[in-house]
Structure formats: C-alpha cells, structure tokens
Chains A and B, each alone.
Chain A
C-alpha cells in the first residue's frame, strides 16, 4: 500500500534554481507536513497544512513555499535553492493533529 509517496527520491540541482518536491497521500488525511532532517538537528518542521488551501509556517520556513490545492497533494518549492537547503526532506500526514504522523520515503536533495 503506497499511502504516502514522495518524488523525486533523489535530486541534484544548482544554487539559484527553483525545485519542487512532490508529496501525495491516498489516505485522505486532513493534515500534511514537510520536515527537513540534518545531522545534529533532527527533524524540523518547515510547513504544515490543516486542509486544502490552509497552510502555516513551521520552525524553519524561510526559503520555502507550499501550496495545497487538493487534499492529497502538498508540494514544497524552493524558489531559489541555496547550499544550506541540502538536506533530506520528509513529507508526513495524519488524520488529526493529535494522531501519529506517517512519513513518506524522503527526498535526498543536494544543492551544488
């Protein structure tokens, strides 16, 4: 069962380029989240969404943009990529904010 899928799995790009990471879930969960994971920092919340057309900033939102026009999709865009955004990005979803979150496989993003 796919559940929640992220694409691409791996991405290499250059500084200044725009890149979009995709996230799709089949559970019809209301809540979706984007995290980045770096050594020494653990998982940090970038943005989250409580429903279609409702998004809000997390702990580290600068340099990122999200949208949620459909419940099942929650793309994350780096408008002008910087080297500091090299990281592993995880998308997650949950039925409510109080339920455990379920994670996608992650996108390994390298910015040269």
Chain B
C-alpha cells in the first residue's frame, strides 16, 4: 500500500524563525515529488516541485533523500502569511501514471507574531 506520512503538527513558530518538516514515503518506485500549500477551506496550490539535487525558491528549500525515502521542506525567515497546511505529494511512474499520485495528510504550520 502506498503511503505518505507527515507529522500533522501544528507547528507553532515565531515570525522570522526557520522551520523544517519532513515527509516519508513507502514506495521506493516513487519518482516525482511536490510540496503543495493549502489554506483553510481553500484548494491545494503547488508550492514547489522537489528535484533529486534539491532546489530552492526564495525562502523555501526542498530536499529529497531517496536512500531514506523522505523529502523535506525548509522555510527561512517565516512570515505570518506562511501559516497554512503543507501537503507532501509523491508520484510513481506506472502504466498510465495517473493513479500513482499520493497525498500526505498535511502538516499544519502556524506563524505567530
């Protein structure tokens, strides 16, 4: 059974701090990885794709560790607007491909002033 596990939190972090959270996946055949952000009662929105070599987008850095089967998200200089739920998404290549998408249940982040 494909599983993606995340610490649900909440993570309560003061504004300006750095916060990191991980996501583990069970299927070693997983090939694509993404972080999505979801605000309360809104749709998930793509935050960033995660590449094997790691990648950065402004204050956000994503890392992939295939050997240990986890991905991470680091947020530097956190802003109040970063408060949201962060969803880890893992995808494997298989046949038609579409059924390989698995969402974690999300990590809830609260940035406090």
Contacts and interface: CB of A to CB of B under 8 A. Distances in A.
Interface stretch (B11-19, B43-51, B61-69, B71-79): B43-51
10 closest cross-chain pairs (CB), A and B: A97-B97, A42-B105, A103-B43, A43-B103, A97-B98, A48-B98, A100-B46, A42-B103, A103-B44, A106-B43
Contact of B98 (A31, A42, A108): A31
22 contacts: A31-B98, A33-B101, A41-B105, A42-B103, A42-B106, A43-B44, A45-B101, A48-B99, A56-B98, A58-B99, A97-B96, A97-B100, A97-B101, A98-B31, A98-B91, A98-B93, A98-B97, A103-B43, A103-B44, A105-B43, A106-B41, A108-B41
B105 A56 contact: no
Contacts of B34: 100
Interface residues of A, number: 24
Interface residues of B, number: 23
A90 B99 contact: no
A5 to B, nearest CB: 11
Interface in A92-112: 96-98, 100-106, 108
Contacts, number: 54
A15 B89 CA distance: 33
Given A42-B106, A98-B93, A90 B101 contact: no
Interface of B: 31-32, 34, 41-46, 49, 87, 91, 93, 96-101, 103-106
A45 B99 contact: yes
A58 B2 CA distance: 13
A102 B46 contact: yes
Interface in A38-76: 40-43, 45, 48, 50, 56, 58
Given A42-B105, A43-B44, A50 B49 contact: no
A90 B103 CA distance: 13
B44 A90 contact: yes
A103 B97 CA distance: 18
